[in-house]
């Protein structure tokens, strides 16, 4: 008998070499492929939709417990102007609040709003005891000073986790409201039983919203963390060392197969919309399901990882259906946590 884990690794190395040489890398079979020397297991898909649903159930239970104590967590969502995509996204957050039993309030200032008017609004929300979380949907109109506005939010109500005070607390390992997407990444890994402690985690992307906090959260879980970005020299040499590879650089298909270590876990944070046939064929040529979506909608989305790179992994988050659903779930969790922390519970 052969060690099937070693066989799986060797097969994925063969796939990697094939991908590097531009040869077809897909092997026949749907779940597992029988060989006379072992079994090749297909990568595990980390189901963000299911994980988000589980978190929401937990949040709903916490809300019921707090409500029984006379506390109903509340979220104020501020949406400036009439940006269709932002409106859909914010309304989905408000609806999720209703579904889970949280109080929510949607505030919609006009496009012409000034920084001073927005600062006044934030000050009023900071002073309301029925509001535990304040969410300001970005981007804001160019006449509004976004940084000043985000800094004006009470850190105790900063459920997006963007305030410098929360960033500092997160770095220091003290109780803080962490940004929702990076917190969701950790939940995916933990709830999927992916080891973090002692693993080499490489984060590609250094934004204050995802890259930096994701690296800090992984470090707090005892991973050895490397942060890379678009200016990193010999990037592929570093990403090929990753046991856990987090792609959050905002470029479609940036992580190529040759940049992935066989058997790595890949967390793809990116969401990039493809609208041209040329773009589509770069990533999804021959994919009938994606082709149908593209034909119907005139677009499809791809992450920051080239789809063929997933074949080399032991587990990965798909796009869509991976990290994305966790963002709203963690926003709800942060709102409940803020309600508890503000009351010393």
**One of 12, 56, 132, 137 is an active-site residue; which one?**
137
Nearest 5°: the CA angle 131, 112, 107 is 20
Q: What is the bridge-based pairing of β-strands 38-41 and 32-35?
A: antiparallel
Token pair 């963690």 is found at 330
160 is catalytic: yes
CA within 13 Å, CB half, 275: 1
190 is catalytic: no
319 CB neighbour count, 10 Å cutoff: 24
CB 144 within 8 Å of CB 113: yes
CB 140 within 8 Å of CB 82: no
**One of 132, 160, 243, 268 is an active-site residue; which one?**
160
R_g (Cα) of the chain, nearest Å: 22
157 is catalytic: no
Distance of CA 54 to the CA centre of its chain: 16
Distance of CA 168 to the CA centre of its chain: 21
Q: Which of 66, 65, 60, 133 is nearest to 101 (CA)?
A: 60
**One of 12, 56, 93, 212 is an active-site residue; which one?**
93
Enumerate the active-site residues.
Answer: 93, 137, 160
């Amino acid at each position: 008998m052969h060690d099937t884990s070693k066989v799986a690794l060797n097969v994925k190395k063969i796939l990697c070499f094939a991908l590097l040489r531009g040869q077809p890398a897909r092997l026949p079979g749907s779940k597992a492929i029988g060989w006379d020397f072992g079994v090749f297991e297909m990568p595990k898909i980390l189901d963000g939709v299911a994980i988000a649903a589980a978190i929401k159930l937990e949040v709903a239970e916490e809300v019921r417990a707090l409500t029984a104590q006379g506390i109903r967590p509340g979220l104020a969502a501020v949406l400036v102007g009439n940006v269709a995509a932002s409106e859909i996204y914010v309304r989905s957050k408000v609806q999720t609040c209703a579904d889970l039993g949280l109080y929510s309030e949607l505030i919609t200032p006009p496009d012409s709003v000034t920084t001073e008017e927005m600062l006044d609004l934030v000050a009023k929300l900071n002073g309301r005891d029925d509001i535990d979380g304040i969410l300001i949907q970005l981007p804001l109109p160019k006449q509004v000073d976004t940084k000043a506005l985000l800094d004006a939010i009470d850190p105790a109500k900063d459920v997006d986790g963007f305030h410098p005070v929360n960033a500092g607390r997160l770095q220091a390992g003290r109780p803080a409201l962490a940004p929702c997407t990076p917190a969701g990444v950790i939940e995916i890994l933990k709830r999927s039983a992916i080891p973090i402690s002692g693993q080499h985690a490489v984060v590609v992307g250094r934004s204050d919203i995802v890259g930096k906090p994701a690296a800090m959260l992984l470090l707090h879980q005892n991973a050895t963390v490397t942060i890379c970005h678009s200016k990193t020299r010999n990037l592929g040499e570093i990403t090929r060392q990753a046991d856990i590879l987090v792609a959050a650089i905002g470029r479609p298909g940036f992580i190529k197969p040759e940049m992935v270590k066989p058997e790595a876990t890949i967390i793809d944070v990116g969401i990039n919309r493809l609208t041209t046939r040329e773009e589509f064929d770069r990533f999804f040529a021959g994919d009938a399901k994606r082709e149908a979506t593209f034909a119907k909608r005139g677009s499809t989305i791809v992450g920051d990882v080239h789809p063929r790179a997933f074949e080399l992994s032991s587990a990965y988050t798909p796009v869509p259906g991976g990290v994305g659903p966790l963002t709203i779930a963690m926003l709800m969790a942060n709102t409940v946590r803020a309600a508890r922390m503000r009351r010393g519970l």
